[in-house]
């Protein structure tokens, strides 16, 4: 994925525009951002007289979609349910119970977002406790199992075919967004039940092979290096904001995968300047499919969306704030949302499991 800004220093202007994007829009207009590379590349802003989402009907398969993951029922102790996927990234809903076997993903890196629940993760590299709001990053090939604590568990699993890395901070400096010193890694402990038979369920090309050992296979007594399991909590991510300018979603990038990016939208103050937009501009994702998972708080730009729901805005059709969100945003000082976004360069496909929990009327929710 290329993350360079190829914008022209002297953009063209035709008709009624604002010279500063997202600020002081021409009276009676709605701004649309038409941009390459998910807000990183060449961009034009279009000033329209109607919200571009004010369609009356849609015929054909392309439409904004929404799914209620709360209605999915992942099996136990560890049976992730895939709901969206392409060749680079697969999104699953997971509700593990105490696993009496280990799991190893040979197909990709696993990034978990703990939406609900808590527990202990045993890995090749040691043991790590986790709680709500944690991201857990497990490199491909790690052997692990979840030991959740009592109560409901609900994790979003973002499975990445390529290696997960973090974006460059560039001029923000190395300690911005989250200080790498806030990352926690596992601690070695003696393995549980070292003398019984243990199975490792290895996923390779989406098929499971079970390998059995007469001992606990997580028997590592020491390790050194820079490839390991790690954890960061959303409360330790400090979003970058501007009081005078609505920053694009790319400012909230948390992880990079191959041909996709994971962003985190977190509680933050709204823009202060009266002419500065406070809600996301309309756009059509010309290069990315955009998936948003809503975890907590009030989702200020979306009506009818609650915790545990997902929206999917595919390439080619517009989305943007719901009509009441623009005036409503003027009545508040801040947003308290916690949401995870996955922007995928290649088109995603919904699985039959997703179709079963689709909010069918979502496409008409801008009316």
Cβ proximity to Fe ion, 31 vs 290, nearer residue:
290
Residues 53 and 178: their CA atoms lie apart, in Å, by 35
Structure tokens, 53: 């989402």
- Least separation in angstroms between residue 268's CB and Fe ion is 17
Site for Fe ion in 288-307 (CB under 5 A): 290
Q: Is 22 a catalytic residue?
A: no
Tokens 């997202």 correspond to: 22
- Least separation in angstroms between residue 28's CB and Fe ion is 23
- Least separation in angstroms between residue 313's CB and Fe ion is 6
Residues 319 and 13: their CA atoms lie apart, in Å, by 24
Cβ proximity to Fe ion, 33 vs 109, nearer residue:
33
Angle at 264 between CA 263 and CA 265, to 5 degrees: 120
In 3-state terms, the chain is what percent helix, strand and coil (to 5)? 10, 35, 55
Residues 362 and 187: their CA atoms lie apart, in Å, by 45
Cβ proximity to Fe ion, 32 vs 290, nearer residue:
290
- Least separation in angstroms between residue 290's CB and Fe ion is 5
* Catalytic-role residue among 45, 92, 115, 246: 246
The residue number whose beta carbon is nearest to Fe ion equals 290
CA gyration radius, the chain: 22
- Least separation in angstroms between residue 312's CB and Fe ion is 11
Q: Which residues, listed in sequence order, are joined to residue 342 by a DSSP beta bridge? A: 262, 291
- In 3D, which of 69, 68, 23 has the Cα closest to residue 47? 23
Cβ proximity to Fe ion, 52 vs 200, nearer residue:
52
Structure tokens, 150: 């009592």
Q: Is 319 annotated as a binding residue?
A: yes
Residues 290 and 315: their CA atoms lie apart, in Å, by 8
Size of the site for Fe ion (CB under 5 A): 1
Cβ proximity to Fe ion, 110 vs 290, nearer residue:
290
Q: Is 289 annotated as a binding residue?
A: yes
Cβ proximity to Fe ion, 317 vs 350, nearer residue:
317
Among 83-91, 202-210, 287-295, 345-353, the segment contacting Fe ion (CB under 5 A): 287-295
Residues 6+ apart with CB under 8 A from 204: 106, 107
- DSSP 3-state assignment of 325? helix
Residues 261 and 341: their CA atoms lie apart, in Å, by 8
**Omega within 30 of 0 (cis) for the link into 77:** yes
- Least separation in angstroms between residue 346's CB and Fe ion is 17
Classify the C-alpha dihedral 343-241-54-49 as positive or negative.
negative
Residues in contact with Fe ion by the rule CB under 5 A = 290
Q: Which residues are annotated as a binding site for Fe cation?
A: 283, 289, 319
Q: Give the residue numbers marked as catalytic.
A: 246
């Amino acid at each position: 994925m290329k993350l360079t800004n190829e914008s022209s220093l002297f953009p063209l202007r035709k008709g009624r525009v604002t010279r500063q994007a997202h600020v002081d829009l021409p009276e009676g207009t709605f701004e649309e951002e038409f941009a390459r590379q998910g807000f990183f590349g060449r961009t034009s802003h279009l000033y329209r007289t109607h919200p571009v989402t004010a369609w009356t009907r849609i015929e054909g398969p392309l439409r904004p979609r929404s799914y209620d993951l709360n209605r999915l029922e992942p099996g136990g102790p560890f049976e992730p349910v895939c709901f969206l996927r392409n060749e680079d990234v697969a999104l699953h809903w997971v509700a593990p119970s105490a696993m009496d076997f280990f799991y190893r993903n040979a197909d990709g890196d696993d990034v978990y977002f703990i939406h609900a629940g808590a527990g202990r993760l045993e890995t090749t590299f040691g043991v790590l406790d986790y709680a709500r709001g944690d991201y857990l990053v497990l490199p491909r090939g790690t052997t692990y199992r979840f030991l959740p604590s009592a109560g409901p568990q609900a994790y979003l699993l973002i499975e990445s075919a390529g290696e997960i890395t973090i974006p460059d901070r560039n001029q923000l400096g190395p300690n911005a967004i989250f200080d790498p010193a806030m990352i926690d890694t596992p601690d070695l402990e003696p393995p549980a039940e070292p003398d019984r038979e243990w199975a490792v369920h290895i996923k390779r090309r989406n098929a499971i092979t079970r390998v059995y050992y007469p001992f606990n296979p997580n028997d590592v007594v020491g390790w050194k290096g820079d490839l390991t399991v790690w954890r960061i909590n959303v409360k330790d991510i400090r979003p970058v904001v501007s009081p005078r300018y609505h920053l694009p979603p790319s400012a909230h990038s948390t992880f990079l995968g191959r041909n996709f990016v994971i962003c985190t939208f977190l509680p933050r103050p709204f823009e202060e300047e009266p002419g500065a937009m406070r809600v996301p501009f309309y756009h059509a994702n010309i290069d990315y499919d955009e998936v948003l998972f809503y975890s907590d708080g009030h989702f200020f730009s979306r009506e009818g969306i609650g915790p545990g729901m997902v929206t999917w805005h595919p390439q080619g059709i517009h989305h943007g704030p719901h009509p009441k969100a623009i005036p409503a945003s003027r009545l508040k000082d801040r947003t308290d949302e916690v949401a995870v976004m996955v922007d995928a360069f290649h088109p995603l496909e919904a699985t039959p499991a997703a179709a079963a929990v689709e909010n069918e009327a979502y496409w008409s929710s801008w009316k």
